Amino acid sequence: MKAVEIRDFWWRYPSRREWTLKGIDLNVQEREILGIIGPSSAGKTTLCLCISGVAFRITRGEHKGVLKVFGLEVPSTSITELSQHVSLVLQDPDVQFVTMRVFDEVAFALENSGLPRDEILERVREALEFTGMMEYANKPPHELSGGQKQRVALAAAIARRPSLLIVDEATSDLDPVGKREVFEVVERLRDAYRLTAIIVDHNSDDLTKFADRIIVLNEGKVAREGDPRSVFSKVEELTPFGIRIPQVAMLLAKAGFVDGAIPLTVDEALKVLRPLEHRIAVSESLDNGAEVRLPSAQFVDTWYEYEDGTIAIRGLNLKIMEGDFMAVVGPNGSGKTTMAKLLTGLLKPSRGIVLVEGLDTRNTSPSKLATIVGYVFQNPDHQLVCDTVREEVSLPLKFLRLNSEEIEKRVEWVLEAVGLKGLEDEAPYFLSKGERQRLALATVLVVKPRLLIVDEPTTGQDERGSRRVMDVLTELNKTGVTVVIITHDMRLVCEYAKRVAVLNRGQLIAEGPPKTVFSKHLDDLDKIGLDAPPLAKIMSKLAGRPAFTLNEVIIHR
């Protein structure tokens, strides 16, 4: 049976001249897991909103063509009826929360459906256990980390036991192991309740392991379609789309395997590459470190405890040196964002000291620290307040009382740098999540801080957008700006960071150049909710030492 049937479907928003979706033809079979990838603004979220019926009730755009879910004509079916079959989980969990307790959040839709109390309790417990959030059942959702919030949103969706689950980039803030666990939950639900799933995700490394089929959206059209192995066997054809290609596929292409259904997992790649083992080596490249100077910021036996008793930071001792480019990594809830807020003065240490350019943050106002430290929040919507992109970027400069000529010069520079030139008059909330993330970055960059902290800089970004953001940060770092990024993307850490700090349960467990840290702790990352890049695992087995970028892999012909 077809869970979703789409024939020559077009969609246009009321405020746009161009069609966002253009002649989509797509069938999704019952119990199928369909993965959707594509560059930013390709129409992925719009397609999810249309399939769920939300687009027809909220945005009231123009459409033509056929769109059915389990035989129901979506445009003419009420949300109430569609919600009995479909659960939609959005990228931003905060917009979905309506209660003050995790347990109540998961139970909310079930109570509205009039289910018996015992069944509600059973489903809520099952969903929280599936997503690993049972221990947080009594916490307010807004006190959770970004990844934990996404787990709660997913729990609320699966508790309803939908026939069709649509997940739109709703695992972007999860640590690598957490993301894998969510995909495994989807597989279990398919087996237990005949679930059909549509998953949108920029991280193709994970998606390819679980999806039965992949479609590539580009400019509102289905550009590629097929099983994951076939789709990613054509690396050169996919590169122009600006999507993230699985690292295993990139390695196999470099080794000369360009035809047919190529391996996509570490174990499969090892089987294929074993016969070439004598021809494969890892270059003796040095750690991508650099000379550093005085501390830009420093944690001295720092502790932080929230009002509910949660200890987020435990005896942290860490120096962030002037001119450094540091990545802070760790599982969800490890204290990364708390650490960032301590640097900005938004939080004051419960014990110990935090110094920023020698200033004790306990005795320094956030406004004073704001002249030194720039902070880009994990959720860009928390710092966007104006009606247009131009106004948003200009606002902090007006507080600095710069003249209009200097303001215009800086606005033009920063919008060009982050790839938003031409969108000056657009309303921020009409931008995609990835574009809003870059806009939030622009509002901080335009002030030219000496210490820049970016929490999950590539969340919601396609491969091209991620590279653009990281290249901007790299160029700023070259001018002397100290950069700290909080991320789950180990590939970007290996390629861009000079140093990495690994946190777990509020404690620093490793620190140093990425290659040194990951080489020593390669086998331990899984245990704390992280995951080394596939390339590092493969080359560690084949060449006796890990490689962290494709440029380090040497294949002798």
HEC states along 254-322? Answer: HCCCCCCCCCCCHHHHHHHHHHHHHHEEECCCCCCCCCCCCEEEEEEEEEEECCCCCEEEEEEEEEEEC
Taking the CA atoms of 157, 158, 162 and 166 in sequence, report the sign of the dihedral they define. Answer: positive
Mean pLDDT across 432-444: 87
pLDDT, tens digit, 9 for 90 and up, residues 5-31? 999 999 999 878 899 999 999 999 999
pLDDT category, 60, cuts 50, 70, 90?
Answer: confident
Query: Phi and psi of 106, rounded to 5°?
Result: -70, -30
Determine the pLDDT at residue 92: 80
Rounded mean pLDDT of the chain?
Answer: 89
Position 205 scores a pLDDT of 83
**CA angle (144, 428, 451) in 5-degree steps:** 60
88, part of any domain: yes
Confidence category of residue 545, pLDDT binned at 50, 70, 90: confident
Residue 529 scores a pLDDT above 80: no
- Give the best-scoring range by mean pLDDT among 213-222, 330-339, 546-555: 213-222
Whether the per-residue pLDDT at 288 is higher than 80: the answer is: no
* pLDDT tens by residue, 447-462: 889 999 999 888 777 8
User: For residues 412 and 390, what is the distance between their CA atoms, to the nearest angstrom?
Assistant: 9
- Indicate the length of the chain as a whole number: 557
Q: Band of the pLDDT at 255, cuts 50, 70, 90?
A: confident
pLDDT confidence of residue 18: 92
End-to-end CA distance of the chain: 50
- The answer on pLDDT for 144 being more than 90 is no
Give how far Cα 18 sits from Cα of 7, 53, 58, 61, Å.
19, 21, 19, 12
**What is the average per-residue pLDDT within 190-208?**
89
Say how far apart CA 161 and CA 456 lie, in whole Å: 31
Each residue of 466-496: pLDDT tens digit? Answer: 888 899 899 889 989 999 999 988 888 988 9
**Residue 335 clears pLDDT 90, i.e. is over it:** yes
**What residue numbers bound the domain in which 148 lies?**
2-234
Calculate what percentage of the chain has a pLDDT beyond 70. Answer: 98
pLDDT at residue 259 in the model: 60
Coil, strand or helix at 32: coil
pLDDT above 70 for 290: no
Q: What string of DSSP letters covers 399-433?
A: HTT--HHHHHHHHHHHHHHTT-TT-TTS-GGGS-H
Contacts of 235 (CB under 8 A, 6+ apart): 245, 249, 250, 253, 258
Q: Which of 100-109, 218-227, 381-390, 452-461 has the lowest mean pLDDT?
A: 452-461
Mean pLDDT of the region 429-458:
88
553-555 and 72-73: which strand pairing? unpaired
pLDDT, residue 53, reads 94
- In a domain? residue 291: no
**Which residue from 83, 88, 78 is spatially nearest to 47, judged by alpha carbons?**
88
pLDDT band at 315 (very low <50, low <70, confident <90, very high): very high
**In this model, does residue 1 exceed pLDDT 90?**
no
Global confidence as pTM: 0.83
* Predicted local confidence at residue 170, as pLDDT: 77
d(CA 178, CA 511): 23
Answer whether residue 254 shows pLDDT above 90. no
In this predicted structure, the answer to whether residue 189 has a pLDDT above a threshold of 60 is yes
CATH code: domain of residue 84: 3.40.50.300
Q: What are residue 226's phi and psi, to 5 degrees?
A: 160, -175
Residue 287 has pLDDT above 60, yes or no: no
Structurally, the chain folds into a number of domains equal to 1
As given in the structure block, the two tokens for residue 216 are 């590539």
Look up residue 548 and give its two tokens.
């962290």
Task: Write down the pLDDT at residue 276.
Answer: 82
**Domain assignment of residue 486, yes or no:** no
Structural domain includes residue 446: no
Position 525 scores a pLDDT of 76
Contact 335, 312 (CB under 8 A): yes
Whether residue 223 has pLDDT greater than 90: yes
Q: What is the mean pLDDT of residues 330-339?
A: 91
Structural tokens at position 132:
């690993």
- Helix %, strand %, coil % for the chain, to 5? 40, 25, 35
Query: How do beta strands 499-504 and 507-512 pair?
Result: antiparallel
Question: Span 35-40, mean pLDDT?
Answer: 92
Is the model's pLDDT at 291 over the cut of 80?
A: no
Confidence grade of residue 59 (pLDDT, cut at 50, 70, 90): confident
- pLDDT category of residue 340 using cuts at 50, 70 and 90: very high
Dig out the tokens for 485 from the structure: 């990024």
Q: Is residue 30 part of a domain?
A: yes
Considering the domain boundaries, does residue 202 fall inside one?
yes
Residue 26 domain-assigned (yes or no): yes
Classify residue 457: in a domain, yes or no: no
Q: Is the pLDDT of residue 73 over 60?
A: yes
